[in-house]
Amino acid sequence: MLKPVLLAGLTAVSGFGSLALARNPALTGLGIACAIGIFWSLVATIFFTLPAMAAAEPKKVTGASAFRPMKRLLN
């Protein structure tokens, strides 16, 4: 899950960061502001959201106890 998030974030940062090379000062400022904002959003996602999602993931039940809900439905 980390690789797609990281690649998407870095692609967006580099895309908006390329606007910093523009000759128009408004586009330069916009590109820098967006790149910084997306970068910090990416950092927050990696260090807070992904671990929280991993901690909240339901535990997988294995063995005979996995079939008990199905027995209740069939009876």
Q: Specify the length of the chain in residues.
A: 75
pTM of the shown model? 0.66
Task: Count up the domains in the chain and report the number.
Answer: 1
pLDDT score recorded for residue 59: 66
pLDDT at 8 over 80: yes
- Pairwise CA distance, residues 14 & 35, whole Å: 7
pLDDT score recorded for residue 11: 94
Residue-number span of the structural domain to which 26 is assigned: 2-74
Per-residue pLDDT tens digits for 28-63: 999 999 999 999 999 998 888 878 877 776 766 666
Question: Contact at 8 Å (CB) between 45 and 9?
Answer: yes
- Pairwise CA distance, residues 28 & 17, whole Å: 9
Token reading at 74: 């069939």
Read off the pLDDT of each residue in 11-40 and give the average, rounded to a whole number: 93
- Pairwise CA distance, residues 20 & 28, whole Å: 4
